[in-house]
Structure 1
Amino acid sequence: MSTRDTRPGSAGGVDTPGPLHGGPDDDYTPEQLAAMRREELDLLGARYDGVEVLHVDPGPEPGSRLEQRAVRQVGWTFFLAGVCAFLFLVVYVGSGWFLPEWQWADEGSAWSAMFTPLLGLFMGLSLTLVGVGLVLYTKKLLPHETAVQDKHDGSHFDRVTTGATLVGGYHNSGLPRRKLITRSLGFMGAAVGVMLIAPLGGLIKNPNTGNPLGRTSWAEGIRLVRIDGSPVRPGDQQPGSLETVFPAVPGGNLESDAATMLIRLRPEQVDEDRPREGQADFGYGDYVAYSKICTHAGCPVSLYEQETSRLLCPCHQSQFDVTQGAKPIFGPATRSLPQLPITVDDEGFFVARSDYIEAVGPTYWNRERI
């Protein structure tokens, strides 16, 4: 039977053939382990773990044409992954800056139609190339070893030798001397990292700039037009009638939050009209205008009973009295329909005096009853 030299600075029995027995932490002090080289620790840990190496393929010869070709393939794959991630950022950040502004529309421009597909294409290509590069690197450049090994018991000895094994794996990977791969990895990591972070929470472009939930396209001087784009003037409607109008802006008749009901009251309704406080001058003569979007769940208010002065939402039967500032008098709605202040311009057509002074629709349905 051979004996092992366990003095500090010795190889700790690594140079002694045959199996090792006993508890590792009892056989080696922390000082002895610290004095050993990484290669010695790696080998010692493997022997104590009962590792049986079945096959070893060291990979391509350093500096050979085979290695150089594999390095170029992996490096260019990682580089292209970074380029695709960068193109994703160009599309995402450039919209409205140096690229056309994209917008939702029934018939949008070619750019608007391609905006989301381009984002998906470049992100998908980038992540796919990351995977391809890792597979190529593993198959063509890393040493391949097949071994059988026992489980670790978590001792100090295991922690030290396992650390040496991990560091040895990094050195065996060849990354320290393959500069093309390390540089392309750095570029790819930075680009892919920014690509994955950019869409989260509007970190680059805040979609809520300008309070979009609290305003519409209505503004001072904007004409009220029908869905066909024709303007409306007093006298076009019969008393007791309702007409849906939109702002005379590009795409105005496609903006659901801007849909407005222009109502001409009957003479007896004018006498009963009790507008909300501070909105006595929002109407024009016997005309009033209210948002068409129900304050309960956002359905279009589309039924008008002129005999009862009630606007009816068909979804959940909320009812609003137009002679009381469109106050809800029945159903689940708890907030009045916002009123649009209107007047006429120099040509005699109806125009808005401003936007709605409160948010339209159910976005703010937790406000107190008005």
Structure 2
Amino acid sequence: MTTNDHSRPGSGGGDDEPGQLHGGPDDDYTPEQLAAMDRTELDRLGARYDGVEVLHVEPAAPAGSPLEKKNTRLVTNWFLLAALFALAFVVIYAGSGWFLPDWEWTVESETWSSIYTPLLGLTFGASMISVGIGLVLYVKKLLPHETAVQDKHDGSHFDRVTTGATLMSGLHNSGLPRRKALKGALGLLGAAFGAMLLAPLGGFIKDPNKGNPLGTTPWAEGLRLLRDDGTPVRPGDQTPGSLATVFPEVEGGNKAYDAAVMLIRLRPEQLETLVTPEGQEDFGYGDYVAYSKICTHAGCPVSLYEQETSRILCPCHQSQFDVTKGAMPIFGPATRSLPQLPITVDDEGYFVAVSDFREPVGPSYWNMGRLG
């Protein structure tokens, strides 16, 4: 046989109608009086802390003992280490290219590699791991180990107040209020960890969007077209129907994500069917045309060229562009033509750019129509 017991303090006090709560401390004291009581006073009124009855409490280590001090130092050191890694993340993120180097090195005098992003990942991951280890050690070595049972609460104000008292009692039992070094480490960790999370999201340390980064590239008037090995290109260097990938003659030009250009020499039969978009009649030079290598759909490299069909293909999503029609998309998800780079030759007979691209390179974006 099962009965409902409403006789304990904070319950319905023997009420025969469930749902109404009266009798016991809830009727004997106002909510303000209950909220002002400490745990000892609530205990005398029969508090069980939201139905939780503690059967056994075993401290992790005696207060003030050498073992407790050793455990406190261990936990504090892990939180300090997490804070230092978080601060290192912020310093690397904010200082790269400013008061810190560009985190690059050369391999075989040609290939450049950057460790900027790996350093960010390393410091961020190390901070997260250190926080995790610190929390685990804090629970295992500093918090008391309790054995408790819990009944389903009845929702009285008395039980809600005693729940808060339970939380405050747990904080007191953890010893955190008297561990100044640990509190300092946690404060530093909170500040450093917050800065680490906000730095890349808020963009308040440095602004990567100064100027018009989406509408400009490293190309400019007079810059030579260079192969990946740094050699310039003359009109006679390519055979009809061939394609060469070229970059601007600037430092790091072959590493700029938006600077890769396809220099294509058309065949005679392609020249006969060549349709030049309005306003771009003088963009090519002789039988040469130059188009951005960045697909206007999702930014993939469109490096496949079928000279028989005059089609440039993107291997990612199968967009196809007709080189004899201003690199207009004729198949696939791309909706814009590949931007054309206006080219000519300099006094020494090498290909140079007449200007930057006249339209943005790569996928479309929200404010492309507002570009001047």
Q: TM-score range by the shorter chain?
A: 0.7 to 0.9
> Match for residue 165 of structure 2?
164
Which residue matches 1:18? Answer: none
For the residue of structure 2 that corresponds to 1:54, the secondary structure is strand
Distance 1:229 1:282, change over 3 A: same
Q: Which moved more, 1:253-262 or 1:179-188?
A: 253-262
SS in structure 2 at match of 1:288: strand
Partner of 2:23, secondary structure, is helix
1:330-367 CA distance string (max 9 Å, x none): 43454333221112222221100111111234446999
CA distance in 2, matches of 1:360, 1:326: 13
1:352 paired to 2:358: no
> In the superposition, relative to structure 1, how do residues 364 and 313 fare at CA in structure 2: closer, same or farther (>3 Å)?
farther
* CA distance in structure 1 between the partners assigned to 2:226 and 2:360 by the alignment: 21
Shift of 1:156: 1.2
Q: Are positions 1:27 and 2:24 aligned together?
A: yes
What SS does structure 2 have at the residue aligned with 1:145? Answer: strand
SS of aligned partner of 2:289: strand
One-letter amino acid of the counterpart of residue 246, structure 1: V
Match of 1:244 in 2: 244
Whose Rg is larger? 1
Give the aligned partner of residue 215 of structure 2: 214
- AA paired with 2:158? F
Contact 2:56 2:146 in 1 (8 A): yes
User: Per the alignment, do residues 43 and 81 of structure 1 end up closer, same or farther by CA in structure 2, a change over 3 Å counting?
Assistant: farther
Q: Which residue of 2 aligns with 1:304?
A: 307
TM-score scaled by structure 2? Answer: 0.74
Q: How does 1:145-294 map to 2 (within 5 A)?
A: 145-200=146-201, 202=203, 204-237=205-238, 240-247=240-247, 248-253=249-254, 257=258, 258-263=260-265, 266=268, 269=271, 275-294=276-295
Mapped to 1, the partners of 2:253 and 2:180 lie a distance apart of: 57
**Equivalents in 1 of 2:48, 2:146: separation in Å?**
16
Indicate if the aligned counterparts of 2:321 and 2:337 stay in contact, CA closer than 8 A.
no
**Is the 1:253–1:259 contact (alpha carbons within 8 Å) kept by the matching residues of 2?**
no
| Cα separation, 1, equivalents of 2:222 and 2:345 | 9
Deviation at 1:168, TM superposition (A): 2.3
1:113-158 residue CA offsets vs partner (Å, 9 max, x unmatched) = x434433333333223323333333333333332323221111121
| Alpha-carbon RMSD | 4.0
Aligned partner letter, 1:282:
F
State the secondary structure of the residue aligned to 2:290.
Answer: strand
TM-score by length of 1: 0.74
State the match for 1:98 in structure 2: 99
Change (3 A) 1:93 1:235: same
Pick closer, same or farther for the CA change 1:45–1:144 going to 2, 3 Å.
farther
Question: % of aligned pairs identical?
Answer: 58
Q: Aligned to 1:72, what secondary structure does the other structure show?
A: helix
Unaligned runs of 5+ in 1: 1-11, 14-20
Q: Which range moved further: 352-361 or 254-263?
A: 254-263
Deviation string, structure 1 residues 219-258 (Cα, Å, up to 9, x no partner)? 21111234443322344456x5444241234454565742
Q: Could you tell me how far apart the structure 2 residues matched to 1:181 and 1:53 are?
A: 27
- Judged with a 3 Å threshold, the aligned counterparts in structure 2 of structure 1 residues 25 and 224 are, in CA distance, closer, same or farther, namely same
Amino acid at match of 2:291: Y
The one-letter code of the counterpart of 1:98 is F
| CA distances 1:170-212 after superposition (whole Å, capped 9, x unpaired) | 2233222221111111111111222233333645444444544
Deviation of 1:46 (Å): 3.8
Contact 1:303 1:314 in 2 (8 A): no
Question: Following the alignment from structure 2 to structure 1, what is the Cα–Cα distance between the partners of residues 77 and 314?
Answer: 61
Q: C-alpha distance in 2, partners of 1:191/1:228? A: 44
Moved more, 200-209 or 92-101: 200-209
290-299 or 191-200, larger mean C-alpha shift = 290-299
Report if aligned partners of 1:25, 1:156 keep a CA contact under 8 Å in 2.
no
1:141 aligns with 2:142: yes
